Amino acid sequence: MKKIFVSGANGFIGKALIQELKKRNINFVPGSRTLYGEIEKVLDWNVFLKDCDTVIHLAGRVHIMNETVINPLEAFREINVKATIKFAESAKKKGIKKFIYISSIKVNGEETFDYPFKASDTPNPSDPYSISKMEAERELRKLHEENKFEVVIIRPPLVYGPEVKANFEKLFWLVNKNFPLPFSSINNRRSIVSVLNLVDLIINCVSNPMAGGHIFLVSDGRDYSLKDLLLEIAATQKKDLCLLPASVSAMKFFLKLIGKNSFSNRLFGNLHVDISETKSLLNWEPKYTFQETYSIEHIVSFEEFEICNKK
């Protein structure tokens, strides 16, 4: 096997991926702004793809809360669609054999009701970020050629692990403060994925001959309620957790009043995915539990990687 080019190598998923590639002695080129600058401004990818036969494309404009640009959709399209397709076209001309694109479960939609999301579902993106991801997927699939330039698409839900930020980090903060939390009656269903399980799936797709031309959903293989999630976090921090009952409808109403309706949906709504096709087609199973993801071994390995990166 030749080298794997990893774009977005300095991101949360990228760091975990590179750590695992090192551990497995797989040759790779870590691509980041330090190497190629702004992705939308790269004129020639050939020099960066030398001796590579696989691309794992992680770089992109991420979902931004409280977006301030005048035209968010065009801002996302510039990087997530136009720059991605330009990169893929260059990779195809260069002779890259497999292009693995990390998309988002938001392409399927924001919430599930009676049934879990499947890869075959009609896309239902609802914001500029997810629309741009869907458009990139569609254009990439047009470039797919079996045994020549194989496109693989992975749609993860929320990805967690050491160094994760945003709302997931806030849950850790709440648990750490030992605040009584009014969530004991929250029994929603949400699929999430350990960054270690996502990385393991990505590496499986690199060498698996069955991966090309498919869209894969991924999760830890179980669903978490908000209550489950808080209990898992408390266990990793060895904290006692005080959960109190409260009216879910009242909490939803309050959040809607203060303009946090989308946050309310993420907190109390359902979003679960069906990964049966991913498991059967790739002969893959998620290996890591929540607790294993936050074990001393993995936290230390991430910290060591950070230190090496800063030297």
Backbone angles phi, psi at 87, to 5 degrees: -65, -45
C-alpha–C-alpha distance, residues 257 and 245, integer Å: 21
C-alpha–C-alpha distance, residues 213 and 205, integer Å: 11
Of 181, 189, 186, nearest in space to 240 by CA? 181
Cβ count near 19 (within 10 Å): 19
Q: Which residues touch 212 (CB under 8 Å, ≥6 apart)?
A: 98, 144, 146, 147, 150, 151, 152
Cβ count near 18 (within 10 Å): 21
C-alpha–C-alpha distance, residues 238 and 236, integer Å: 6
Residues known to be catalytic: 129
C-alpha–C-alpha distance, residues 163 and 186, integer Å: 26
Three-class SS of residue 33?
Answer: helix
Secondary element (H or E) of residue 52: strand 52-57
Q: Which residues touch 74 (CB under 8 Å, ≥6 apart)?
A: none
C-alpha–C-alpha distance, residues 52 and 96, integer Å: 7
Of 218, 194, 192, 193, nearest in space to 204 by CA? 218
